[in-house]
Amino acid sequence: MNLHIKLRDGFRNDTVTMRVNGDEVYHKSGVSTRLAISYADAVDIPIEEPVVTLEVAVQGGPSESAEVRVRRTPFVEVWVQDGVMELRRSDEETPLL
């Protein structure tokens, strides 16, 4: 099964790191939101465990972690608003605008 993560609003030429259960699974510089579609990047991560801890961090900025029940909520959107990061879990993929 896969954990599907989308970086949405609030990214401005940022360096973003993601960890699953402490292991780095994503690290990218220059991440910026395309305002017309509220989208910056996406990644699909193969997961074997039914429950994982997802950590997302912007270098020099906000970070957040959450427990994700991958079978129940395999889709996670990452939003940054007013300097606060939010991880929104869902059982369905949200279409881009």
Q: Indicate whether 47 belongs to any domain.
A: yes
- Domain CATH for 22: 2.60.40
Range of the domain at 13: 2-90
Query: What does the pLDDT average to over 64-81?
Result: 98
The 10s digit of each residue's pLDDT in 6-26 is 999 999 999 999 999 999 999
Q: Indicate whether 97 belongs to any domain.
A: no
- Residues 56 and 62: their CA atoms lie apart, in Å, by 9
Question: Is the Cβ–Cβ distance between 84 and 65 less than 8 Å?
Answer: no
Q: Indicate whether 29 belongs to any domain.
A: yes
Q: Indicate whether 95 belongs to any domain.
A: no
For the whole model, what pTM was predicted? 0.94
The 10s digit of each residue's pLDDT in 24-66 is 999 999 999 999 899 999 999 999 999 999 999 999 999 999 9
Angle at 44 between CA 87 and CA 17, to 5 degrees: 55
Q: What is the pLDDT of residue 96?
A: 75
Q: Indicate whether 52 belongs to any domain.
A: yes
How many domains does the chain divide into?
Answer: 1
Q: Indicate whether 75 belongs to any domain.
A: yes
Q: Indicate whether 57 belongs to any domain.
A: yes
